[in-house]
Amino acid sequence: MKKILALIGGGDRDQVIFDTALAAAMPCTSHVNFLHIHVSPGEAARGSPAEFISGPALRLAFQELEENARTYSRLAADHIRDLCERSVIPIDDIIGARRNGVTASYSEEIDNALERLTAIGLQNDLIVMGRAKQKQGLPSFTLEHLIRRSGRPLLIAASGAPRKLTGTVIVFWNGSEGAARAVEVAMPILTRATRVVVATVLKGRKRSETALADIVRKLADSEINAEPLPITADGRGIALQLASAADECRADLVVMGAYGRGIARELLFGSRTESLLDHTDKPILLIHERRGGGRP
C-alpha cells in the first residue's frame, strides 16, 4: 500500500480520518493523498428538500449551500495542513522531517463526486473514509459505491482515532475470494500485528473448521502466528456474533471481504447494518469480491 486516498469532509471527523490514514500509512511508509470534494449547490440539492423549492426560497437555499461548500473546502484544506504540520509529515510545499517515511498531498475536486472518487480511487492502493454520511453533500451511498466500483480496498474509520492498527487484528473468514483478497491487502499490517485472530461462524461445521485451519496454516507460512476462533451459531445473527467476537478480542482492526449479497455486504448495507455499526466501533478493512474476472 504505497498510495492511500483519504476522503476529507471539512468537519469534525477530519482528525479521525487523518489519524486512521496515518495509522495505515506508517507500516508501509505510504504516501497519503488527502482529497476533498467541493459539491456545488446544484449537485448538493439533488435528492434533498432544496430540489423541490422554487422562487426566492430556491435562491436563498442555493446561497446557503454554496456558502457551506466554501466553508467545508476552506476547513478541509486548513485541517490537513495543520494536522500534517503537527505530525511532522511533509505536505506539498511544507519542508520537514518525514515521520517514518510517510508523506502527504492535498487536492480538491469539484462535482461529479462518485465518478471522480472512483477514478481517483483507482490510482491508489487503499481508500480511507468515515462510515457516517459526509457533510459536504456526497450521496448517502458513497461508501457502497466505492466498495463495489473502485475495486480498491476500503479502510472505514471508527468514531474515534485508532490507537494503532497493528495491535490486535481480527479477520472475519469464510473462504470467499473477497476474504482472501482482504487478507492479502492486509498482509503489511498482519505481519506487524501483535496478535492476529481468525474468526469464522460455523455453518457446515466440519467444512468450516477445515477452512479455518487452512487459512491459519497459510498465515503461518508467512510467519504470522494466527489464533483460530470458531464461532458456534447461536441464533443472535451473524452480525452480532462477529461484533461480539471483535469486542471480546479488543480488536484494533477488523479485516473482512465484501462480496455479492453475502455476509460482509449485508453487514454494511443490508438488514444487519445497524447491528454491526452499533456493536462494533472498530476500523474495518474490506474489499469487494471480483465477479467473472472483470471489473468489480
Q: Using 50, 70 and 90 to split pLDDT, how confident is the model at 272?
A: very low
- The single-letter code of the amino acid at 8 is I
What does the pLDDT read at residue 77? Answer: 94
- Domain spans of the chain, in order of start: 3-157, 168-288
What residues have CB less than 8 Å from 165, skipping those under 6 apart? 20, 23, 24, 27, 189, 252, 253, 283
Decide if 241 contacts 234 (C-beta within 8 A).
yes
> Who has greater pLDDT, 176 or 56?
176
Domain 3-157 classification at class level: alpha beta
Which range has the top average pLDDT, 86-95, 225-234, 254-263?
225-234
Rounded to an integer, the average pLDDT of 62-90 is 88
Question: Is the pLDDT confidence value at 98 over 60?
Answer: no
Q: Evaluate whether 3-157 and 168-288 have a shared fold.
A: yes
What does the pLDDT read at residue 138? Answer: 73
Backbone angles phi, psi at 262, to 5 degrees: -80, -165
Q: What is the largest CA-CA distance in the chain?
A: 68
Among 47-61, 65-79, 206-220, 236-250, the least confident range: 47-61
What does the pLDDT read at residue 290? Answer: 55
Give which of 24, 257, 258 is closest to 126, Cα–Cα. 24
What does the pLDDT read at residue 155? Answer: 93
What does the pLDDT read at residue 291? Answer: 47
What does the pLDDT read at residue 78? Answer: 95
Question: Is the pLDDT confidence value at 29 over 50?
Answer: yes
Tell me which residue has cell 469480491: 289
Question: Is the pLDDT confidence value at 274 over 60?
Answer: no
What does the pLDDT read at residue 271? Answer: 43
What does the pLDDT read at residue 27? Answer: 87
Q: What pLDDT digit, counting tens, does each position of 139-196 carry?
A: 777 877 787 777 889 999 998 989 899 999 999 988 888 788 889 999 999 999 999 9
Q: What is the DSSP letter of 26?
A: G
What does the pLDDT read at residue 168? Answer: 97
- Model pTM? 0.84
Q: What pLDDT digit, counting tens, does each position of 232-268 carry?
A: 888 777 778 888 999 999 999 999 887 445 555 555 5
Fold assignment, 168-288: Rossmann fold (3.40.50)
Q: Give the DSSP letter string of 49-87.
A: GGGG--THHHHHHHHHHHHHHHHHHHHHHHHHHHHHHHT
Detail the DSSP E strand segments found in the chain.
3-7, 31-38, 103-110, 126-130, 154-157, 168-172, 195-202, 226-232, 253-258, 284-288
Q: What is the mean pLDDT of the chain?
A: 81
CA distance 246 to 113: 33
Q: Are strands 3-7 and 126-130 parallel, antiparallel or unpaired?
A: parallel
Q: What is the DSSP letter of 242?
A: H
What does the pLDDT read at residue 40? Answer: 75
Q: What pLDDT digit, counting tens, does each position of 100-126 carry?
A: 689 999 999 887 778 888 899 889 999
